[in-house]
Amino acid sequence: MRIGFGYDSHRLAEGRKLVLGGVEIPFEKGCVAHSDGDALIHAICDALLGAAGLSDIGSHFPDTDNQYKDIDSRILLEKVVQLIHNQGYKINNIDTTTIIEKPKLADFREQMIQTLSTIMQISPSQMAIKAKTNEKLDAVGAGDAVVCYAVCTIENI
């Protein structure tokens, strides 16, 4: 069994779509990024890659490469899951925390779990999506950024 940890953050700005956990969430601001800015998927990708000893998301999908411009991060996660399987591992479980001041993510949690567990070929019970505010502290608390953490375990097939 191997453990992986991932972190990602993105600035929030008007005129961008807010996509988290593969789900588009209606809100006045969205993530500023080269891709679609799905910080939750990016944190999960880094956790999975780290667990398998496969470096990080930036080395596999550089933000200087135009083929990843505005890319749907669900595609990146699919590619990462393929890499994990190719290394002879299966995903055991994923736990995540997203920190965002607004909007409330509770109404989208089930859809995120369905979307992500399907891509990762695991059951919904093998993953968790937790969300909280930053109690108005710093840029996250001011509503100007989102931060996501993910931990996973993988094991040999």
How far is Cα 60 from Cα 80, in angstroms, rounded to an integer?
9
Site string for Mg ion, 15-54 (x = CB under 5 A): ---------------------------x------------
| Contact status: 8 vs Mg ion (CB under 5 A) | yes
Find out whether 30 and 37 touch, Cβ atoms under 8 Å.
yes
Rounded CA Rg of the chain: 15
Query: Least CB distance from residue 58 to Mg ion, whole Å?
Result: 9
Query: Least CB distance from residue 88 to Mg ion, whole Å?
Result: 27
Q: Which is nearer to Mg ion, 8 or 101 (CB)?
A: 8
Tokens of 84: 């994990």
Find out whether 43 and 9 touch, Cβ atoms under 8 Å.
no
Give 83's Cβ-side CA count (13 Å radius). 21
Select from 6-14, 19-27, 104-112, 120-128 the region that touches Mg ion (CB under 5 A). 6-14
Q: Which is nearer to Mg ion, 76 or 91 (CB)?
A: 76
> Which residues make up the interface to Mg ion (CB under 5 A)?
8, 42
